[in-house]
Structure 1
């Protein structure tokens, strides 16, 4: 996506359908609908005060120093990996804090250098235990990259295997896919499909009415599906202390996974 984001707030809203498909050790599929924001970290939306309760973008809801801006924290993370965007644009896809709650299973940052050249993509993952982890990706021109799994997300999967991610920068349509590959084959797939709308007062109010308490509903739905899997007898893998690494992901050209 080039040029400024459209709409009165310089941001976009995507009406989304999110699908989770587990294929081992038993098959389990569920979907939910929500809406996501696409924002420029240098120009976050400035909502009028009556609507701020429906959308706030806080540093405290993401990794880093809560006294710094989202952009400053991301730049610090990238600098620790030897990357300097030199002020280039960063687009973030995420839930905003709404009605006092936020939960982002995945937040994606598309990072550009001067002139709009793509430099890297960051996939930030949160689990329902309050922990988070960032994957630094070097996607190919189609938005495809791979990364070893390093973070405990679901209690029904150990921390092993690797991800194959398709994270092209959104345009009129949003189309993201994350596969978890383990030694026995593909174990899990998550997809996010959405349609873009310019963010403004009417668009936000319509989305909030269609998806009331959207971010709370997402976290509750994930927990509900976990209870269903427990009742189906799926064993739980104990959670261990998370130790972030600085490993950078590969593009598909660097490593071709075994299907």
Structure 2
């Protein structure tokens, strides 16, 4: 089974548990686009590598040089022993550019087998310093990923100055025709510290839906960046420990 492309509204949740609890939920929207339908995706308001109010640019993802994504993704799968999956059934979920601007804290590449079962997810993470890193999430034995599964990955990349680069993440995913959700829980040596989740309600990638979302959140990129800095300021004012930014890891992708 293949998941159709879509453009939908989402709820993004963050909940920090220590030293003082801090939680918030905010709206956003995402595009969910199958790689095999990129050339056919688009309308007067949305396009791939086109001048549109909502746009997805190849240089914003993957190798970041405007080259095709498939060879880049296939190379990653090959290096981690998952090359047999191929890239024929891959769905990218990400923020589109809005009037030319975008900041994607995390984008997800959902890799499914020929039977439509989720087998791997590449989480493409960006921080506000311009660094990026990929986490390849899959079971060690390659079995399909179920909605209740929690898959662990060691944290190696600096995202927030209020979390150290140690500990691990627990990833959970659910990919259905109408809803896509991703949860990432961060654990340090003391246990769970930060719980995050994004839940996308997928709607058709058509002109009417693009117009509705654009009208409801015309400055979404600014809102995403502003919320990140506002929450950081709140944590700083509360005296949360500040961690300096370390050098990014040498490896572009870890598992």
Q: Is the 8 A contact 2:134 2:254 kept in 1?
A: no
Deviation at residue 22 of structure 1 after TM alignment: 0.6
Aligned length, in residue pairs: 242
Per mean C-alpha deviation after superposition, the further-off stretch among 90-99 and 105-114 is 105-114
Residue in 2 that maps onto 1:101: 101
Q: Distance in 1 between matches of 2:63 and 2:119?
A: 21
Residue in 1 that maps onto 2:76: 77
Question: Does residue 14 of the first structure (1) align with residue 8 of the second (2)?
Answer: yes
Q: Is the 8 A contact 1:95 1:103 kept in 2?
A: yes
Q: Deviations over 1:190-243 (max 9, x none)?
A: 111232211100101101111122122112211111112112222210111111
Q: Deviations over 1:25-54 (max 9, x none)?
A: 221112210111110012125323554422
Q: Is the 8 A contact 1:36 1:95 kept in 2?
A: yes
Any idea what SS the aligned residue of 1:92 has? strand
Residue in 2 that maps onto 1:33: 27
Higher strand share: 2
Correspondence for 1:155 among 161, 171, 185: 161
Residue in 1 that maps onto 2:92: 92
Q: Deviations over 1:6-25 (max 9, x none)?
A: xxxxx212211111101112
Runs of 4+ displaced beyond 6 Å: none
Over 3 Å counting, the alpha-carbon distance change for 1:201 and 1:217 in structure 2 is same
Per mean C-alpha deviation after superposition, the further-off stretch among 27-36 and 71-80 is 71-80
Over 3 Å counting, the alpha-carbon distance change for 1:128 and 1:81 in structure 2 is same
Question: Does residue 141 of the first structure (1) align with residue 146 of the second (2)?
Answer: yes
Measured on the aligned residues, the alpha-carbon RMSD in Å equals 2.0
Q: Distance in 2 between matches of 1:138 and 1:215?
A: 30
Any idea what SS the aligned residue of 1:104 has? coil
Question: Does residue 233 of the first structure (1) align with residue 232 of the second (2)?
Answer: no
Over 3 Å counting, the alpha-carbon distance change for 1:77 and 1:17 in structure 2 is same
Q: Distance in 1 between matches of 2:240 and 2:3?
A: 47
Q: Is the 8 A contact 1:14 1:174 kept in 2?
A: no
Q: Distance in 2 between matches of 1:187 and 1:138?
A: 23
Question: Does residue 192 of the first structure (1) align with residue 186 of the second (2)?
Answer: no
Question: Does residue 216 of the first structure (1) align with residue 216 of the second (2)?
Answer: no
Q: Distance in 2 between matches of 1:117 and 1:29?
A: 33
Q: Distance in 1 between matches of 2:44 and 2:210?
A: 14
Over 3 Å counting, the alpha-carbon distance change for 1:87 and 1:127 in structure 2 is closer
Any idea what SS the aligned residue of 1:230 has? helix
Q: Distance in 1 between matches of 2:54 and 2:71?
A: 20
Over 3 Å counting, the alpha-carbon distance change for 1:241 and 1:102 in structure 2 is same
Q: Is the 8 A contact 1:106 1:126 kept in 2?
A: yes
TM value normalised by structure 1:
0.85
